[in-house]
Structure 1
Amino acid sequence: MIIYSKGTLDRKEDFRLVTTIEEENKKLFVRKKAVNPRAKDFLFGMVENYEKLKKILSPLKLAEAKFDGDSVVFPYIKGKTLSDEFKECYFNGQDEKALEILREFKNILKLLPTVEFETRRYKDFMRIFGNPTEKDGDWTVGCLDLNLDNLIRIGRQLYLIDYEWVFEFPLPKKFLYFRTFFYTFFSIKELLKIRCSKEFPLVQLLPEIFVPKEVYDQEALAVSGLRRFYDYEMNFQSYLSFRKNTAPKLKESVIFQNSQKPDIFLTLQTKNDEIEKLKAELRDIYGSKSWKIATSLRDMKRLFKKTS
């Protein structure tokens, strides 16, 4: 019996899958199937990914991928994702506890083996993500699905429940952290907007991505690095999807000072104050004698035009 179903029909045909949660003999499991024959190589590659990653990602346990006819099945692991934990912490005002989850993820990346970037793989990385630089820092196994959404905690053990995107070439650890950082704060953007105030200012990195100023300062995020990793992500989304990528460029959305840090820490409260101030000024103008006299003169002018 199928309990849940989700398709990735916005992807190119080579990557289109349907994921279902099913129940059989009172046991739950996850099944992934290719939408079309062209996506079967991508689907079946997950079993190979499991064999490749299970020893390398030693701090984590992987949900085992197995062949089942024309599909791949995984055990259903019941628990909260680290993303859910993060959201709950921010919702309950436990900001420091939420940031501990991000630090925990950063420590996981540190524990992963450092892989030397091979020049012969440069073209493969460039084709999908863009031009790498020495500033990208340490590289590790190319599992792009390492993020809070795919990590479930059971007791003290963390499980990686999905690993569709595993490349033959390595990925920068900083880039993996960047993706998690961005998508995690994107997931709580509405909550951040509500909480935003002079006491809780935000840095706006994109139209829909806000980061608490205190967190931004602690992370010491270099703008040049943000731009580069954001471009990596947008290039990957273009590689993945058949739709044209129209996402705003990070460099067009961040407000800079000396091309290094945001000049203004935008807060919704500040913007609302500005709107209310403008409304008050308009009310004063509309209520002034000069405006009323000017309005009367305009009405008389229109009347004369009609009668002439």
Structure 2
Amino acid sequence: MDRTIYSKYSNERAERFRIRTDIVLDVAGRKTVYKYAGTKAADPHVRRIEECFRQLQEAYRGSRIRFCPCEVEELQAGSRVSSPFVRGETLQSMIERSFRQGDWSTVETIIRLYGRRLMEAGGDSPFTVTEEFRNVFGPAGQENAYICADVSDVDMIFSNIFVEAGNGGTVLDVSADWTVIDYEWTFPFPVPKKFVLYRAIYFAYYQIFKAQGRDLSEWLAMVDITREEAAQFAEWETHFQEYLLEGGFPVRNMQRIMGTKVIPFEELLAGEQTTDGEVVKESRWIRVRRLLYHIDRLERQDGSVICSGWALAKCLDGRCIPVNIRIYGPDEKQIRADVTRSDRADVAEALKLRRVDRPQFGFDCVWILPAGQKWSIHFSMGNREIIYEG
């Protein structure tokens, strides 16, 4: 009897994109991957995956990049797409292992090889902005002379690329073939190859490296992506995520509305709880000589703004303390934000701060704001305030 050993619901998307992915083990020990439409509206999305495979197979013919085959199967309740279970190791797991071992040289080699393969394969169509592109990725901005694959799989990230077991090669062997799975986000209109590179490195930077080591811009520079291009690609990614959701809001981001702050019951009864981002009670009485801050990371994701960095106050009595952080929207009304604090001993050391009880100067702020709206971060303590406008 066949047995389902894995099931994943992608039900936070727009109804026409909701699917279920199962891995089924049969009596002979063979594994098969099935994708089902999660709603009636999603049936065309599932059916088109087979056509995506055919187009990608043709576009990348003769290259070292292959695509896991699939076919549509008709069922009484609709349709599904089946594909063989790919054995081997993903590029992501190889990068993760090298990262854990501190082997940055191998990580760099993998990323450079990845960039070279993607730029050399799939065709070299010029980038022309179409209405379909604007619908999915938003305004194109400045039209550079980008090269595009004949058919664009924008989700060719490291976790979707396998180096197959038993092929006698490794990821560092330029003769080893790669197999791509999960190519449902394939588009027939031109999408710059550099954007595909950007997405893979961006997700690796935050999911694998946890923003440690080199700056994101340095990793992107390895595949010839400039800061200006990265800023444009970040806007495309934001619009793409909004296209997938179509006004929905993922459960995984619910904390951005509700927050994660814990208020002890005793403080609630006494009315002593502080507001979001406030770290010091009666802070208005603290005399501050200077406020300092730095923004390390700023981006949009799933309809939210994510901002990370550090901020501190130098007091007249010689102390160095964290500051209060508040977010305001375009109408000067305060926006509820999820603010997480962290110790930044590196900041205290770099600035040669002396009177520091605990260097909790780091912050991660997340808040919901429609694309295009202005906002500002207010850093304050005692008698001083400084504003960063986004």
| TM-score bracket for this pair, using the shorter chain length | 0.7 to 0.9
Relative to structure 1, the CA distance from residue 253 to residue 137 in structure 2 (aligned partners, 3 Å threshold; closer, same or farther) is farther
Counterpart in the other structure of 2:305: 248
Counterpart in the other structure of 1:238: 242
Compute the displacement of 1:174 (Å). 1.0
Compute the displacement of 1:269 (Å). 4.6
Counterpart in the other structure of 2:315: none
Counterpart in the other structure of 2:49: 46
Compute the displacement of 1:237 (Å). 0.1
Counterpart in the other structure of 1:186: 206
Moved over 6 A (4+): 252-255
| Counterpart Cα distance in 2 of 1:214 and 1:153 | 26
2:95 to 86, 89, 112: 86
Contact 1:136/1:175 (<8 A) preserved: no
Which AA in structure 1 matches 2:118? L
Q: Of Structure 1 and Structure 2, which has the larger fraction of its residues in helix?
A: 1
1:56 to 56, 59, 84: 59
Compute the displacement of 1:23 (Å). 0.7
| Counterpart Cα distance in 1 of 2:31 and 2:348 | 48
Which whole-Å deviations, capped at 9, do the CAs of 1:221-275 have from their partners, x for residues lacking one?
A: 52221110000000000000143543327xx7699xxxxxxxxxxx955236469
Q: How many equivalent residue pairs?
A: 251
Which whole-Å deviations, capped at 9, do the CAs of 1:157-180 have from their partners, x for residues lacking one?
A: 210111101112021011111101
Counterpart in the other structure of 2:332: none
Question: Identity over the aligned pairs, expressed in percent?
Answer: 22
| Counterpart Cα distance in 1 of 2:112 and 2:146 | 18
Counterpart in the other structure of 1:157: 177
Relative to structure 1, the CA distance from residue 218 to residue 54 in structure 2 (aligned partners, 3 Å threshold; closer, same or farther) is closer
Relative to structure 1, the CA distance from residue 214 to residue 107 in structure 2 (aligned partners, 3 Å threshold; closer, same or farther) is closer
Which AA in structure 1 matches 2:12? D
| Counterpart Cα distance in 2 of 1:229 and 1:67 | 33
Which whole-Å deviations, capped at 9, do the CAs of 1:101-149 have from their partners, x for residues lacking one?
A: 1111111112221113346xx1110111122232262122221122211
Contact 1:8/1:18 (<8 A) preserved: yes
Note the aligned Cα RMSD (angstroms): 2.8
Compute the displacement of 1:72 (Å). 0.5
Compute the displacement of 1:218 (Å). 5.0
Structure showing greater relative contact order (alpha-carbon pairs closer than 8 Å, 6 or more residues apart): 1
| Counterpart Cα distance in 2 of 1:217 and 1:114 | 21
| SS class of match (1:240) | helix
5+ long unaligned stretches in structure 2:
168-175, 250-301, 311-342, 360-390
2:132 to 121, 124, 128: 124
| Counterpart Cα distance in 2 of 1:279 and 1:110 | 50
Contact 2:112/2:222 (<8 A) preserved: no
Compute the displacement of 1:18 (Å). 0.4
| Counterpart Cα distance in 2 of 1:34 and 1:19 | 9
Counterpart in the other structure of 2:347: 271
Question: Structure 1 length as normaliser, TM-score?
Answer: 0.73
| Counterpart Cα distance in 1 of 2:52 and 2:22 | 20
**Which of the two has higher C-alpha Rg?**
1
| Counterpart Cα distance in 2 of 1:124 and 1:104 | 31
5+ long unaligned stretches in structure 1:
194-199, 204-210, 256-266, 283-308
| SS class of match (2:46) | helix
| Counterpart Cα distance in 2 of 1:92 and 1:5 | 31
| Counterpart Cα distance in 2 of 1:50 and 1:214 | 33
Q: Of Structure 1 and Structure 2, which has the larger fraction of its residues in strand?
A: 2
| Counterpart Cα distance in 2 of 1:105 and 1:32 | 27
Comparing 233-242 with 132-141, greater Cα deviation is found at 132-141
Counterpart in the other structure of 1:21: 23
| Counterpart Cα distance in 2 of 1:105 and 1:88 | 17
**Mapping of residues 72-221 of structure 1, within 5 Å:** 72-112=81-121, 113-118=123-128, 122-132=130-140, 133-135=142-144, 137-140=146-149, 141-154=151-164, 155=167, 156-190=176-210, 193=212, 202-203=214-215, 211=216, 215=219, 218=222, 221=225
Which whole-Å deviations, capped at 9, do the CAs of 1:30-62 have from their partners, x for residues lacking one?
A: 000001110000001001111111121232221
Relative to structure 1, the CA distance from residue 254 to residue 106 in structure 2 (aligned partners, 3 Å threshold; closer, same or farther) is farther
